Amino acid sequence: MKNIDKKYFRQGIDFLAGVDEAGRGPLAGPVVAAAVILPKDFHHKEINDSKKLSFRQREKLFEVIIENAISYSFSVISHSTIDRINILNASLLAMKKSVSKLKPVPQIVLIDGNKSFGANQNLIPVVKGDSLSQSIASASIIAKVIRDKMMSRLAEQYSFYGWEKNKGYPTKQHIEALLKFGPSPVHRKTFLKKIMNQSFQSEIIFNYD
């Protein structure tokens, strides 16, 4: 993987953060963002965009990253907030909160994608950054692993949808379960209108016993 982080380290930057999110596309559950500051001399050849890694690879690299990072953090934005402010704003909010928790304060923040958020640091959006920056890729792994674990726990409570496998993404199994059983309390209602061809009121409670 190319690592554009080195470009900024050569400019005299000591603390560079990468930030990324996981969970923009699912129909249910939160969006999770993570931010990471890695040592300037740290390099691991297996770190890459989390989507290109297997479950086992992500789990292994998650431990490597948190053991070696100068600082890392994550933030979770709920399904209800996603419905209220939309998924783009929720993703940017999660990333902003994650960066704000880092200590020391990074001099530069590389953001996966082409959008930014308000902060005091020098923010640099990087399109396909999770394939170009070791710091962003590390953040993508942390965010993905944490969100997957959350969805696996939710799958125990809402067993119809197969979240232990699909993590809330709109797979055939997930959509078929939605059409048969309706949405759970943690589904993103604004994501379901086209699939279900109707709006679901927030006060509806479903019994899964």
User: In the predicted model, is pLDDT for residue 118 greater than 90?
Assistant: no
Nearest to 142 by CA among 190, 204, 72: 72
pTM of the model: 0.91
User: In the predicted model, is pLDDT for residue 207 greater than 70?
Assistant: no
pLDDT at residue number 2: 73
Other C-beta atoms within 10 Å of 119: how many? 16
Q: Which of 91-100, 110-119, 146-155 has the weakest average pLDDT?
A: 110-119
Q: Which neighbouring-strand residues pair with 111?
A: 19, 125
Phi, psi of 70 (to 5 degrees): -65, -40
Helix H or strand E segment including 174: helix 172-181
Other C-beta atoms within 10 Å of 51: how many? 11
Numbered residues of the known binding site: 20-21, 112
pLDDT at residue number 115: 94
pLDDT at residue number 203: 36
Numbered residues of the known binding site for a divalent metal cation: 20-21, 112
pLDDT at residue number 137: 98
pLDDT at residue number 120: 79
Q: Structural domain boundaries of the chain?
A: 5-153, 155-196
Residue with more model confidence, 118 or 170: 170
Beta strands in the chain (DSSP E): 16-22, 31-37, 71-77, 108-112, 122-126
User: In the predicted model, is pLDDT for residue 43 greater than 80?
Assistant: yes
pLDDT at residue number 194: 80
Task: For tokens 């989507």, name the residue.
Answer: 51
Size of the chain, expressed as the number of residues it contains: 209
Nearest to 208 by CA among 167, 154, 157: 157
Mean predicted confidence (pLDDT) in 170-187: 95
State pLDDT tens for residues 71-97. 999 999 999 999 999 999 999 999 999
What is the average pLDDT score of the chain? 92
User: In the predicted model, is pLDDT for residue 193 greater than 90?
Assistant: no
Residue with more model confidence, 29 or 198: 29
Q: Which neighbouring-strand residues pair with 187?
A: 28
Domain 5-153 architecture: 2-Layer Sandwich (3.30)
Cα 56 from Cα 177, distance rounded (Å): 28
Mean predicted confidence (pLDDT) in 145-151: 98
pLDDT at residue number 202: 36
